[in-house]
């Protein structure tokens, strides 16, 4: 039995859910998201919650049960509150700023890195060493953060690079004489 799958997904006010032709559509104040549904899972939409249960006792249904509940929860949270990831840039001369629909990163290369901001994602730079990525689709927010971080991953000796806020960088000691 899935512990996550047993918990119903609460529906906040202002969020509506509809199922049409194997697709769940969730509308809310932050937009609209859709999820293609799996036949082995049954979705029960109530007034204040969505229940996700396996349709049968097959191994596939039990395997997908908790994941489908989490995906439905991500849709509901995304259209009501949205998701945010914060990146911190550490290093002398490393900085970031948003110029129009591009994120301009100076990361110690001989050229500036231009990252085109995808649709549905907003990027803010409150200061030169902080990048806030937000949007309603959790997967897309995480993918954008990973793509930006890939330009300069944190290195273990001085800790220079782009890291997630709250991420611990394992440090090494370095050379000794």
pLDDT band at 175 (very low <50, low <70, confident <90, very high): confident
Q: Which residue has the tokens 């990027």?
A: 123
Tell me the H-state helices in 7-102: 59-80
Please check whether residues 39 and 91 belong to one and the same domain: no
Q: How confident is the model at residue 103 (pLDDT cuts 50, 70, 90)?
A: very high
Do 91 and 154 lie in one domain? The reply is yes
Same domain, 109 and 140: yes
Q: Give ∠ CA 157-162-165 in degrees, rounded to 5.
A: 105
CB 76 within 8 A of CB 50: yes
pLDDT digits (tens, 9 = 90+) for 65-76: 999 999 999 999
Residue that finishes a domain, picked among 32, 64, 80: 80
Residues 6 or more apart whose CB falls under 8 angstroms from that of 38 comprise: 64, 68
Instruction: Tell me, yes or no, whether 159 and 117 share the same domain.
Output: yes
Q: Is residue 132 part of a domain?
A: yes
> Are 146 and 73 contained in the same domain?
no
User: Is residue 54 located within the same domain as residue 100?
Assistant: no
pTM of the model: 0.89
DSSP conformation class of 171: P
80, 103, 118: which is the final residue of a domain?
A: 80
Which percentage of the chain shows pLDDT scores above 70? 99
Say if residue 154 is in the same domain as residue 121. Answer: yes
Nearest alpha-carbon partner for 47 in 9, 6, 3, 4: 9
Residue 161: pLDDT over 80: yes
Residue 23 lies in a domain: yes
Tens digits of residue pLDDT in 52-94: 999 999 999 999 999 999 999 999 999 999 999 999 999 999 9
Contact 169, 159 (CB under 8 A): yes
What is the pLDDT, as a whole number, of residue 3? 87
The total number of structural domains in the chain stands at 2
The CATH number of residue 30's host domain is: 3.90.930.12
DSSP letters along 86-122, please?
EEEEESTT-EEEEETTEEEEE-SSSS-EEEEPPTTEE
How does strand 95-99 pair with strand 49-54?
A: unpaired
HSE, side-chain direction, 13 A CA sphere, residue 137: 14
Residue 122: domain span: 83-164
- Split at pLDDT 50, 70, 90, the class of 1 is low
- Stronger pLDDT, 99 or 177, i.e. the higher one: 99
- Say whether pLDDT at 98 is over 70: yes
């Amino acid at each position: 039995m899935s512990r996550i799958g047993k918990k119903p997904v609460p529906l906040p006010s202002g969020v509506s859910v509809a199922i049409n032709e194997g697709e769940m559509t969730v509308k809310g104040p932050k937009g609209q998201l859709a999820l293609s549904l799996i036949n082995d899972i049954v979705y029960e939409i109530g007034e204040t919650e969505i229940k996700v249960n396996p349709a049968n006792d097959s191994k596939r249904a039990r395997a997908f049960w908790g994941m489908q509940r989490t995906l439905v929860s991500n849709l509901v949270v995304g259209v009501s509150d949205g998701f945010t990831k914060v990146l911190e840039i550490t290093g002398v001369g490393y900085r970031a700023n948003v110029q129009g629909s591009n994120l301009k990163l100076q990361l110690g290369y001989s050229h500036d890195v231009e990252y085109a901001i995808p649709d549905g994602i907003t990027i803010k730079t409150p200061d030169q060493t902080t990048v806030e990525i937000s949007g309603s689709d959790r997967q897309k927010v995480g993918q954008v953060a990973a793509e930006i971080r890939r330009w300069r991953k944190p290195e273990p000796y001085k800790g220079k690079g782009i890291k997630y806020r709250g991420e611990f960088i394992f440090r090494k000691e370095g050379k000794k004489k």
